[in-house]
Amino acid sequence: MSIQETMEKKLSEAFSPERLVVINESHLHAGHHHVDGGHEAVFDGSGETHFRIRIVSPAFAGKSRIERHRAVNDILADEMKAGLHALAIEPAAPGEKTRW
C-alpha cells in the first residue's frame, strides 16, 4: 500500500469525513534543497514526501484550526517519522466554506 493510500485509510477511519482528498504534491518541490541524514541534497520531486490534505469532517466542528491540524498530525505521526516531509492541511467542518 502506498503512503497516500495509507493516509487516506487512516484519515477515513479516524474522522469519517464527508469529503477527503489527499494530493501528492512531491513533484512541485523538485529542485528544493533539504537536509537528508545530515547532508544537504537537492530533492528530485519523486516519491511520496509532500502532501496536501483536504478534509471535511463533523469531528472538526467546534475545534480551532490548531486543534484540527494537531488531530490530523497525530493520526499521521508514523508517516511523518517514516519520511513524510511536509503536509498542507485544509480541514473544515460540514457547512464551513472551503476554497476548494
Over the stretch 12-58, which tens digit does the pLDDT of each residue have?
A: 999 999 999 999 998 664 444 455 566 554 444 456 788 999 999 99
β-strands 50-56, 86-92 pairing:
parallel
User: Taking the chain, what is the end-to-end CA distance rounded to the nearest angstrom?
Assistant: 27
- Residue with the larger pLDDT of the pair 81 and 91: 91
pTM: 0.80
| Beta pairing partners, 19 | 56
Please state, in angstroms and rounded to a whole number, the distance separating the CA atoms of residues 58 and 88: 20
Domains, in order of start, for the chain: 3-92 (3.30.300.90)
Average pLDDT over residues 60-77: 98
